[in-house]
Each structure stands twice: as structure tokens, then as C-alpha cells.
Structure 1
């Protein structure tokens, strides 16, 4: 007997989207739409959250997402990764930021996964010349061991390939 999942959650907290969720919802996939990016969701603290899904460790990904409705940002944008003194180098490199016609921002970045677990990178979108006009964006991904299956990538996430292991012995 087949059962239908209806907005159910598993014990691990993974949410399965419903078909009756509103269009434009981050968890709904419309086959009719030509959206090829992830949509950032506004959090209660004013930051935006982008969930990139399940990724393999020691791989490089291109991630394209849109931050909707940010009229406070201008047309000429810069992006700064989080600056923490405990971090050696950022795994996230932003290649391009563009304003959309709807007043949002489209971001194309490269993300290099290094270790397993829930990983989070923080970036700040800033209008050039106006540091007071900025938006913080968190990119979150669940990174799995490269030997445990192949994740189904979300729209807007593309695997660029495996990274060479820095710890491997050269012969």
C-alpha cells in the first residue's frame, strides 16, 4: 500500500515539500518556471538564509542564488566574506553579483567543501560607496562524506568536480 507524504518530516528533521505550498516558496519546485537559482529566505534577525542542500566533502560547487526584494541596495554591488580571525581562508568565493529587475540581487559563487557536517558561510552584500547599505547572507549546506552516495543537487547548485586531496602522498 502506497502512502502519500504530506508535509511530513523524518526523524532527522528533513522536510518534504508539499504540492500545495504557494508558488515562490523556497521548498516548492515549479516545473513551469524557469528559475535556475536558489531563493534566500529572510530570517527573524534580518539576515537571509540560503540552503544549498546536501553536498559532498572535498568537492567544488557553483551556487547561484537570489536574494529577493532588497531595494535598499543599489545597482553597483560588492560582496565581502565574513572576516573571522580564527578562519584561515574562506571556502566561499563570490564571482558575480547583479541586481535583478524585481529589486533583488542574484549572486553567483563558488563553494569548496572541506569537512563533513552542517557548514555555514557568512557574506555581506554592500552597495559600492555606501557601507551603511548592506545585507548579510548565510549560505548553509549539509556536507557528507564523499564515499557515502551521491546527493541530488538542488536547482542553482552545480558540481564543478572533486578537489585534489592536499593530504595525499605524492609518488
Structure 2
């Protein structure tokens, strides 16, 4: 036989109070409050940027801060290597140190995606850092993801639906 537990019930980081009150409260564990874009330095000097869940056929602005990279110097720009899904739009020194990077990301297909961009020094030859943006992209029909701090949706591609076409066909 199962015994009833008094106090509070825990389930996957959420605690529900069993007290009978007029207002219900849900308490989340502190580790769940960490809802910001994560920048992870890699052993080779490059960076992995985790931006969380996104939705296919949507364009996002992603803002993150890289730690200071002395090898690059102060004058950093995106490499002229085009990536159709990830485009750096601004790089500026962060007042608290490091580089504040703003980019646009087009979530073009469902799945776990990793797009790369290269940041280079304008004055130091061969000085560069690779930034990999890692996203989990869900189908546009499976709800709306809660975006991390530093990520905002700036547009959506219209889905073509052949049933809504007014083309009559050939006679």
C-alpha cells in the first residue's frame, strides 16, 4: 500500500504546495531560472552559443556576449563568408568586458541545428574565432517556444498553402 506524503510534492523541478489557500502558487527550482543564451568556450578557443528552442520558418535576432579574446584585439568584424541562415549584424565592445554580438538567424528546418560564423580581426592577420550557434528547431505547427533572454522573433516566412491559391489551372 502507498503511504500519503505530507508537506509538499516534488516533480521535476516544480513544487506544488498542498496547503489549502485561496491563492495557488507554483515554485520553480532556482536552476530553472537560468533562461539566457549560453556562451560556452571550447577547448580550441572557439565558442558554442546555445539559443534554446526556436520555430521553423521564423527569423530571430540573437544577442550574446563573448568573453574577451585578446588574440582578436578591439577591431573585430564578421568574416566575409556568407551563411544563408546566420548573419552577424553588429559587434560592439560590451561595457562589462568582452564583445556584444548581434546576429539574425533563420530557423530553416526542424531538428537540432548548428550554424557557424567566423569573427576576424581587422588589424591582426589570421586572427579569428569561430562561433557555432546551436538551436533546437521545432515545426511551426507544434506550439510556440518560450524564447531565452537574448533571443527575439523578428519575423516569419509565410507558409505556402496550395489550397488557398486562386489559380484556376490550364483550360
**TM-score of the two chains, using structure 1 as the length reference:** 0.72
In structure 1, runs of 5+ residues without a counterpart are 7-16, 22-26, 31-36, 84-88
Aligned residues: 143
Aligned-CA RMSD value: 2.7
CA separation of 1:71 and 1:129: change in aligned 2, threshold 3 A: closer
Select which of 126, 130, 144 maps to 1:150.
144
In structure 2, runs of 5+ residues without a counterpart are 1-7, 14-27, 167-171
Larger radius of gyration: 2
1:91-116 per-residue CA deviation (whole Å, 9 max, x = no partner) reads 01111011224441111011111110
Partner of 2:23: none
Aligned runs of 1:1-150 on 2, under 5 Å? Answer: 2-3=9-10, 5=12, 19=30, 29=34, 38-80=37-79, 90-150=84-144
Pick the structure with more helix per residue: 2
1:12-62 per-residue CA deviation (whole Å, 9 max, x = no partner) reads xxxxx963x7xxxxx8639xxxxxx73411012322000010000000100
C-alpha separation in 2, matches of 1:5 and 1:81: 45
Larger mean CA deviation between 113-122 and 156-165 belongs to 156-165
**TM-score of the two chains, using structure 2 as the length reference:** 0.72
Is the CA contact (8 Å cut-off) linking 2:111 and 2:136 kept in structure 1?
yes
